[in-house]
Structure 1
Amino acid sequence: MYNKTQTDSLKQYTRAQLALRNGTDRDEIWCAHAGLIYDVSSSRLWRNGKHYEHWAGQDLTAELANAPHADWVFTKFPVVGQLI
């Protein structure tokens, strides 16, 4: 996906900053996976910051194991930052 040079140039966000992009406090709907933060705002499946039992503004790395898809799903969305 991204190599070290590419991730070094990404803006860094804390978990608290990510939590603000949950689709309710702001228009941004972001989720993190494997250290990268994705903007899922364009997905109709993430309207209002909720996707089935998952909430935006969180690191979903551990939860992906229970999803009906693999991490390829994140390739559909732009990377907006790195989770620190």
Structure 2
Amino acid sequence: MKKYTKSQLALRNGQDKPEIWCAYQSIIYDVTNSRLWKNGKHYEHWAGQDLTEELKDAPHTEKVFEKFEKVGMLSS
């Protein structure tokens, strides 16, 4: 799986590039086609970043990522 830096992920925020990506536990997911991520925003969360820490406050579990394509790994 291709590796991306945090800077590369940050560009996939729905504003700078057409892709809308977010990471969870170092796996990057493409959420571009999700109606819940329109314009790179999902409630108070923004795409282009690692959402691992923010998920604990979400009303859903990590299973939500199962429906999205894995596009890469977040390099450390």
Say what the alpha-carbon RMSD is for the aligned residues: 0.3
Structure 1 stretches of 4+ with a deviation exceeding 4 A read none
Q: What residue in structure 2 maps to residue 28 of structure 1?
A: 19
Amino acid across the alignment from 2:30 = D
SS at match of 1:72: helix
Count of paired positions: 75
Gaps of 5+ in 2: none
Taking the TM superposition and a 5 Å limit, the aligned residue runs for 1:51-66 are 51-66=42-57
Unpaired stretches in structure 1, ≥5 consecutive residues? 1-9
Secondary structure (helix, strand or coil) at the match of 1:16 reads helix
**Pair 1:13-2:10 in alignment:** no
Q: Give the counterpart letter for 1:27 in structure 2.
A: P
1:33 CA drift (Å): 0.1
Query: Which structure would you say has the larger Rg?
Result: 1
More helix by share: 1
Name the CA distance, whole Å, in 2 between partners of 1:27 and 1:34: 23
